[in-house]
Amino acid sequence: MDTAAHDEIDLHPLLDQVRAAHRRQVPDYAQRMADLDRLGQAVRKHRAELVKAVSADFGRRSRHETLAADIMTTLDEIKYLRSNLKAWMRPRHRGVNLAFLPARAEMRPLPLGVIGIVAPWNYPIQLALIPLADAIAAGNHALIKPSEHTPRTAQLLARLIGEVFPAERVSVVQGDAAVGAAFSSLPFDHLVFTGSTVVGRAVMAAAAPNLVPLTLELGGKSPALIAPGYPIEHAAERIAAGKCFNAGQTCVAPDYVLVPRAQRDEFVRAYLASVRKRYPSLAANPDYTAVVNHRQANRLRDWIDDARDRGVTVMQYRPDSETPPPGVEVIPPTVLLDPPDEAKVMQEEIFGPLLPVKSYDSHDEAMAYINGRDRPLAFYPFDRDRKRLRRTLDTVVAGGVCVNDCLIQFGQHELPVGGIGPSGMGQYHGHDGFLAFSKLMPVLYQSRLNGMSVFDPPFGKLADFVVKFFTR
């Protein structure tokens, strides 16, 4: 992130305005509930426009994928927050050390202040509005920086937010990477960034001078591990569902598959058959999402060429010879057989419909391979042997796990989303989102009658007895 590029972009006055408004009046329960309700109503009101804007930004985005992954998840989160907010806002009783009784203690959840939200392009609605909803539930104000790669959606989000909130409560900041760099360097009370690991490092560096706490939702290479004896067709079907959704442009998409060597070819056949069933055509199929822009599509094509140059067998599903409409970047579902670790497709998160399939000879070897790489954002073990599965879950550390399926862990209210190491830090969604944007402030209430005078000098025999008793 080039700090020199944003020296002339000053967003501090906007942050100061929003922070001053929060200090004047911290949103109470009624305000938070009303804000969440209006936000949900606005998403419903603009639902059709949001679907069209995202599709226009992608060149072509499946309507049902946007409704399911962007609209439905956002509305579901808002509903869950409203259902539980009163209980979450209550102070939580904590115990007091025996020596300090009859004092009492509690933890009071207080809003942090102003939350910065940097949203990515792959799910530009939900990854802006879900952290916003969590921040509002916790009583914060917020600034949002949508991705410049989905400008139509960003403009619509700015209009939607403007209809719901006064500017001093929530505002949308639009602009290019330089604006994003200036945004990330602001002294927020908490900053949420969703995006690549490379940019995440730059965001962390930009936040460091102000000691801004971070929630980094990054990505990495999330593996699927098919255990010996697991039904190959079922694994292939679920992995195809996870990989082809949004054309693989999902931070928790299965990035590569580890399969027993003797079953590799069977898996590939079953995977391509599942793809064929889902997408009888690609070029003009409204159900198959395009890659977001020419640069991303060319990156994927370069990685395919790199694999071929290394002698890797590349199998692509090409059901038609038609040319996609202008501006629609279609990359067909592609399988790469046993690419070496030096191949580009094995070096970075793929973020597209390319699936490396790696053979293994023993289950321990497969787990060692996963553990020898950066800890992933998601891990997908396919196994029906409970004892072996327990050992796998005790061995492989990931941001989140879904057993015998893909992606669906992301939509669970009671399971937070968050990475570990290069795949991210911190977590949110549901109650964990409320906690992420709150300060659980410890409070000790001293009793009118208490024994603290024992420790006031001059010390006597009673103090000696008490100290001896509690240090015995």
Amino acid at position 105, single letter: A
Q: How far is it, in rounded angstroms, from Cα 127 to Cα 252? A: 13
Nearest 5°: phi and psi at 381? Answer: -85, 135
Residues 6 or more apart whose CB falls under 8 angstroms from that of 410 comprise 73, 252, 400, 417
Q: Is the dihedral of CA 171, 176, 179, 184 positive or negative?
A: positive
Catalytic-residue membership of 244: no
Catalytic member of 65, 217, 237, 329: 217
> Cis bond leading into 151, ω under 30°?
no
DSSP characters for 190-208? EEEEES-HHHHHHHHHHHG
Catalytic member of 65, 237, 251, 402: 251
Catalytic-residue membership of 251: yes
Give the number of other CB atoms < 10 A from CB of residue 449. Answer: 6
Q: How far is it, in rounded angstroms, from Cα 128 to Cα 109? A: 23
Q: How far is it, in rounded angstroms, from Cα 171 to Cα 155? A: 12
User: Is the CB of residue 317 less than 8 Å from the CB of residue 332?
Assistant: yes
Q: How far is it, in rounded angstroms, from Cα 75 to Cα 411? A: 12
Q: How far is it, in rounded angstroms, from Cα 1 to Cα 411? A: 32
User: Is the CB of residue 160 less than 8 Å from the CB of residue 90?
Assistant: no
Question: What is the H or E stretch that residue 439 is in?
Answer: strand 438-445
Q: How far is it, in rounded angstroms, from Cα 440 to Cα 109? A: 4
Catalytic positions are 217, 251
